[in-house]
Amino acid sequence: MSSVDLTVPPLSDRKVSILEAAAALFAKYGYAAVSIRDLAREIHTTPAALYHHFPDKGAIYAAALRHVFSDPAKALETVLKGDDAPDVALERLIVWLTQQFSDNPVLARLVQRELLAGDRDRLSLLTEDVMAAPFREIERLMHRLAPARDASLSAASIIALVMGYVQLTPVLEVLTGERNTKQHLRDFAAHAKDLVLHGLLAQPQPGAHI
Amino acid sequence: MSSVDLTVPPLSDRKVSILEAAAALFAKYGYAAVSIRDLAREIHTTPAALYHHFPDKGAIYAAALRHVFSDPAKALETVLKGDDAPDVALERLIVWLTQQFSDNPVLARLVQRELLAGDRDRLSLLTEDVMAAPFREIERLMHRLAPARDASLSAASIIALVMGYVQLTPVLEVLTGERNTKQHLRDFAAHAKDLVLHGLLAQPQPGAHI
DNA sequence: ACTACCTGAACGAACGTTCAGTTAGGAGCT
DNA sequence: AGCTCCTAACTGAACGTTCGTTCAGGTAGT
């Protein structure tokens, strides 16, 4: 389906430590702004040593993406797999999503940078490794919660709402003078739950074409 | 308040054409990935000529940001200044926001890149020149629409929802097989309006701490 | 002796930036 | 009208630095 090689040979400890440092740097500064020498300095080695493990800079970035993107998809299932009532599951989901985006800035920033870069192959990787499984689970929950709605649109709206809000946090701190980001994000999660719950349970406006 | 110089001397036509090409390139590829030679080639001149108009690359980027960020704040007022009923105003707002983010990729991408970069001074510029006026207007509308809600949280949620959704568009095209992006975004705008309207009009869950 | 891992030094290319010199066009004077 | 003077705009070439990458050689464990 995708042209990206998804078969991942097991990584040595050394490679993992390289990729984790690389992911952190690329997430923070972007691909072009991180040099091989920067990365080598970060893990106390030399540029040439990196070329013993990877053929070039692009391969380091691609492997770092795969390494970071391979983890998080599994975690969601434990969040949603319980047979809670839909509204309870929705609350758990939104809290989990909010924490995921705010507590894992490396993943969140790499996702944002990939969305900005727009490379087709790497977007497929992002879609399949990170987005697909959570999206399908959220779609199922949305179908249970509001069968009359377009579940895809509802699921995408939830992800968009949480991702966008976490991105806006620094601007909101300036606009509202809010300082306690942790509490602020908890308030947002409660607000978002209410918004989605009541917004989707109200009967849809049929044929309301804009 | 901000340490960024906001006094903008009038720009010559030449400078404007440089800044518009620069904004497009920086938006598409990012600051570090665009060289002075790339920019010079784009507008059929030489690197040295650019240094006649701007002291260095950073100044070109800063001026391009100011140039792009100075326009859009005014447009929102005409969208909201009419004394429509709140629900009609909300629909107009969401449609306008969605179009703004999708039809003006240079602005949208520069905003996203600034959010990622996180530079304090430039975030202040972004906040004051782009975000503040729309945010206050949306806050006022939210207060009219749902006085029992936290207007700041509601306003931020709307911006986050639209911004996040437009960002996710390429991934959603893969996930749902959707191809007609224009129609797709219209459907989203209708969905978002319903979500916010009914989600905020339902009585809030008092003290629902998570 | 073989392999995995690493080093120091260097390669050419591209980077941001500078600079002496050239061009074009208008203002002021005769 | 012609002439001088001035300035803004630009050019070609070069500067020192950093970039991604290579390579001959070295070290340590099996």
- A77 vs B161, residue with greater confidence: B161
Confidence grade of residue A210 (pLDDT, cut at 50, 70, 90)? very low
Q: How confident is the model at residue A9 (pLDDT cuts 50, 70, 90)?
A: low
Provide the pLDDT for residue A50. 98
pTM across the whole model: 0.90
> Which nucleotide has the least CA–C1' distance to A50?
C6
Burial classification of residue B79, based on how many CB atoms lie within 10 Å of its CB (0-12 exposed, 13-18 middle, 19 or more buried): middle
pLDDT tens for each residue of A84-134: 888 899 999 999 999 999 999 999 999 999 999 999 999 999 999 899 988
What is the sign, positive or negative, of the torsion defined by CA atoms of B112, B118, B124, B127?
A: positive
Q: Which of A156, A160, A142 shows the shortest CA–CA distance to A204?
A: A142
**Residues near B177 by beta carbon (within 8 Å), at least 6 away in sequence:** none
Task: Reply yes or no on whether the pLDDT at B5 is more than 90.
Answer: no
Burial group, residue A84, by CB count within 10 angstroms (0-12, 13-18, 19+): middle
Residues in chain A: 210
To test the contact with chain B by mutation, choose from A163, A196, A197, A210 the residue with the greatest count of B C-beta atoms within 10 A, namely A210
Cα separation of A101 and A82, whole Å?
Answer: 22
Residue by residue, DSSP assigns B76-90 as HHHHH-S---HHHHH
What's the CA gap between B179 and B76, in Å, rounded? 29
Q: Alpha carbon of B8 to those of B4, B64, B128: distances in Å? A: 11, 12, 15
Average pLDDT over residues B82-91: 86
CA–CA dist B204, B148 (Å, integer): 7
| Contact (CB, 8 A) for A126 and A114 | yes
Mean pLDDT of chain B: 89
User: What confidence tens digit (pLDDT) does each residue in B168-183 have?
Assistant: 999 999 999 888 889 9
Percent of chain B with pLDDT over 70: 89
Q: Alpha-carbon distance B138 to B90, whole Å?
A: 9
In this prediction, residue A12 has a pLDDT band, given cuts at 50, 70 and 90, of confident
In the predicted model, what is the mean pLDDT of residues B182-201? 93
Q: Which band of pLDDT confidence, cut at 50, 70 and 90, is reported for residue B71?
A: confident
pLDDT at A98: 96
Within A 107-166, residues with CB less than 7 Å from strand D: none
* Rounded-to-integer distance, Cα B189 and Cα B100, Å: 12
pLDDT at B50 over 60: yes
What is the tens place of the pLDDT at every residue in A146-195?
Answer: 999 999 999 999 999 999 999 999 999 999 988 888 999 999 999 999 99
Query: Cα separation of B113 and B26, whole Å?
Result: 9
| Dihedral sign (CA B145, A141, A100, B172) | negative
Show which of residues 149-208 on chain B sit within 8 Å of chain A, judged by CB atoms: 149-150, 152-154, 156-157, 159-165, 167-168, 170-172, 174-176, 186-202, 204-205, 208
Q: How far apart are CA A159 and CA A154, in angstroms?
A: 9
Residues 6+ apart with CB under 8 A from A157: A196, B161, B165, B188, B191, B192, B195
- Contact at CB, A167 and B172, closer than 8 angstroms: no
Q: Can you tell me the distance from the alpha carbon of A165 to that of A162, in angstroms, rounded to the nearest whole number?
A: 5
Q: How many CB atoms lie within 10 A of CB A142?
A: 25
- Whether any strand D atom is under 7 angstroms from the Cβ of A48: the reply reads yes
- CB atoms < 10 A from the CB of B13, how many? 7
Whether nucleic acid strand C comes within 7 Å of the CB of B56, the answer is yes
B123 vs A201: CB contact, 8 Å cut-off? no
- What are B94's two structure tokens? 């969401």
pLDDT at residue A71 in the model? 74
Residue A4, pLDDT score: 52
Alpha carbon A120 to its chain centroid, in Å, reads: 17
pLDDT single digits (tens) B95-142: 999 999 999 999 999 999 999 999 999 999 999 989 998 899 999 999
pLDDT tens digits, one per residue of A31-50: 999 999 999 999 999 999 99
- What per-residue confidence (pLDDT) applies to B77? 67
A45 SS3 class: coil
* Chain-chain contact of A153 with B123 (C-beta, under 8 angstroms): no
C-alpha B195/C-alpha B6 separation (Å) is 38
